[in-house]
Structures are given as structure tokens and as C-alpha cells.
Amino acid sequence: MPDLDAPQRQTPDSLMLFGFWYRALPADQVRRNQLHKATLLEIPLVIGRDKKGLPFALRDACPHRGMPLHCGQFDGQQVECSYHGWRFDAHSGQCQLIPSLTSDQKLKIDRIYAGSYPCEERDSYIWVFMHEPGPSGAGFTKAADAPVNVPEVEKFSGKYRTAYLTADMPVSVDHGIIGLMDPAHGPFVHQAWWWRKRESIHEKHKHFEPIPNGFRMSAHTPSSNSAPYKLLRMYADADSTTTTIDFVLPNMRLETIRAGKMWFSSLTTVTPIGRSQCRIDVVACWNIFNAVPFVPSILKFVFAKFVEQDRHTMELQAEGLKQNPHLMLIDDADRPAKWYFGLKAAHLEAKRSGGEMKHPMSGPVTLRWRS
Ligand code: FES
Ligand SMILES: [Fe+2]
């Protein structure tokens, strides 16, 4: 295998993958009886909560003449379009009323639907299942259910704390994701006196293995060159600390750190908003350090700082990407990025052919890099 591929134009396919759950909005931003705008995979949505608090997601375009539904009224049950007052059930999207019809006009309004998407609240977010574009419940078709469950942050005890962070990134979802799995930017982007110094860069080797729809960086004792990990081992009184990081299509990074009874778990997603716009959302749950004053706040601060550093870096990168320059991925540091593109291509090919998905990894691999 050549260790350097010929430089290529960026994002051979900045394709967005339909047929998955995506985080649409932080749950605490979505109030009862209100309508909110959101965009997922270039599709405008209107998101709300009914009077019982249950979330819903409709396509933000009236099936009559396309008026955005978020401009309308919502009484906690039905959404009323602001143009001609057609009313739709917020969950099913089914038309309930067309005010202009006279009593002898027998249009079957229950055959009309505003596009509606499966929508659920999980771990501080409103999630929406994005079916293939096209007739997703709009016009005369009912919405279909989601074929899989909403992803979830893994928890290892009944009591835990949780927090979330969100940041918009002005790059395609592909750049957002490979930025997330890139091990070589740490010493340059995430420098801080309490985390690590640039001089602490050293050679690492990590084991990776294929998992369904993704790959796993296998459990290991985290690098000893950062103070928080040393602290954790001391505090948890555990012989070892294990970290597992999974990447799973379309956009999920799941990290688990366990030390004895202590655990930290997060689910980070990079959500495609448009061709060159994505959003990173991190939800973390943990039972570590809860008894120690200030530590949870410090953890949140550290996390927010990392995400802000990544966001700022991608904002600068977006400048460079504007003219669509040739780019390259190198071994081994960019191998996870190559697997990501491989997984995406394999997924699309399996969908096209109707066959099994061919995983780009044939077995466990050890990667080496300096960081
Ligand atoms: S455009 Fe919505 S009711 Fe006419
Ligand atoms: Fe980063």
C-alpha cells in the first residue's frame, strides 16, 4: 500500500447520509407550544413540543403552497399555516382543516399530509430520523416510522451528571468528522498549561478494530502525559483506567472512560446542516468526581475549551478550503479518516446494490503516530 495517496480535491463526496437519526436541537431550547426552525441535511424543519411536552418534527413547508410552517400558529396540538390557515396534526402531519372549503365541497383532507419525521427526545437533545429525501410523508403519503432506535449515551450507574455542548462549524460534515478523529492536531490546537505542552509530543501506538458500521480504538490505559488522567487514576483508586473510543456511521464518536466504579461517557455527533456547514454536539454523562467540589465545573470548562479550540480551528480552515485546494491524507495519522471515507463509500454502495456492506478494515490494526 502506498503511504501517500496522490493529493485530491477535497471532499470527493460531501454527501450527507440519509436513513439515520440526527440531533436537531438541544432539548432545553424547545419550549412547549412554540415552533422552532432547524435544518438537517439541507432540509428545513419545524420542531416543537405539544402540550404534553412530546416533541415533533415537520418539514418546514406547507404542502399547499410551500409557506414555511414555522411562521404559523401552534395551539399545542395542531400547526396552522399562516397563508391560508390549513391545519395539520403536529405529530402525523395529517391535514385537519382547510378553511376555504364550503360545506358541499368534498375534498378528502385527511389524505393530505405535511411531511413529518420520527422525532424523539434523548439525552438532552431532540433527535430526528431523516428518511431518504423525496416523499417523506409530504403530499399524499403518511410518514414512516424509524427502523432503528435513537442512539444513546452509555451509562454505567443509576446516578450520574450530564452536560452538553454545541458549536457550529463552517465546514462540510466530512471535515467536521475527520477533524474529530484526527489524533495529530492535539499538541498544536489543544495546548494549555494544565493539559499538555507541545514538547510532550511522543510516539504512540493504538489498536483499532472493525465494529459494525465503524471502528473502535481498543481499551487501553490513557497516555500518562496529561495531568487529568493521573489525577483520575489516583482518585478512583483503580489500578488502571480504560478508554474506548468508537466511531460509528454516520457521525458518532462514543467515548467511555472507566476506572473502578468511576466512569465518564460521551456521545459526540457531527451533524450535517448544509454542504459546508455542520454542527458538533457533545453530550457527556459521568459519575466521576461528583463528590469533590468544583471538579464537575472544571470538567465542563475543560470540555468547552476543547470544543471552542476545534471550532476556531475549523473556522480558519474554512478560509483555506474556499478555493477547493488539493488535499492529502497520510499514514498512519490520517488512517482513521481514510476508514471513515471507506465506510461511507461502502455504506452507499451496499444501499445502491442492496447487498451486504463491505467493511473497509479486514481485521485489527495497530497505528503509530507522534502526538
Ligand atoms: S400555503 Fe399553507 S395554507 Fe396555503
Ligand atoms: Fe480537537
Please give the pLDDT value at position 57.
96
How much distance in Å is there from the Cα of 268 to the middle of ligand 1? Answer: 38
Task: Note the ligand closest to the C-alpha atom of 317.
Answer: 2
How much distance in Å is there from the Cα of 118 to the middle of ligand 1? Answer: 23
| Residue 313, H or E segment | helix 295-321
* Pairing label, strands 35-40, 43-49: antiparallel
Write out the three cell numbers for 256. Answer: 467511555
Write out the three cell numbers for 224. Answer: 500518562
- Please list the pLDDT of the chain residue by residue as tens digits (371 residues): 445 555 555 444 568 999 999 999 999 999 998 999 999 999 999 999 999 999 999 999 999 999 999 999 999 999 999 999 999 999 999 999 999 999 999 999 999 999 999 999 999 999 999 988 764 556 667 778 899 999 999 999 999 989 999 999 999 999 999 998 898 998 889 877 666 666 778 898 899 999 999 999 987 665 555 666 667 666 666 667 888 999 999 999 999 988 888 899 999 999 999 999 999 999 999 988 776 777 777 778 888 888 899 999 999 999 998 888 888 999 999 999 999 999 999 999 999 999 999 999 999 999 999 98
Please give the pLDDT value at position 133.
72
Render 251-277 in DSSP notation, one character per residue.
TEEEEEEEETTEEEEEEEEEEEEETTE
Residue having the nearest C-alpha atom to atom 3 of ligand 1: 84
How much distance in Å is there from the Cα of 169 to the middle of ligand 2? Answer: 13
Distance in angstroms (rounded) separating the CA atoms of residues 333 and 265: 24
Mutate to test the pocket of ligand 1, among 86, 96, 98 (most ligand atoms within 8 A of CB): 86
Please give the pLDDT value at position 134.
61
How much distance in Å is there from the Cα of 23 to the middle of ligand 1? Answer: 28
Closest ligand 1 atom to Cα of 69: 2
Please give the pLDDT value at position 233.
67
Q: Which domains does the chain have, with CATH numbers?
A: 20-130 (2.102.10.10), 161-370 (3.90.380.10)
Closest ligand 1 atom to Cα of 62: 2
Please give the pLDDT value at position 2.
46
Q: If you count DSSP H runs as helices and E runs as strands, how many of each does the chain have, helices first? A: 5, 21
Q: Which residues line ligand 1 (CB under 6 A)?
A: 62, 64-65, 67, 81, 83-84, 86
How much distance in Å is there from the Cα of 183 to the middle of ligand 2? Answer: 8
pTM: 0.91
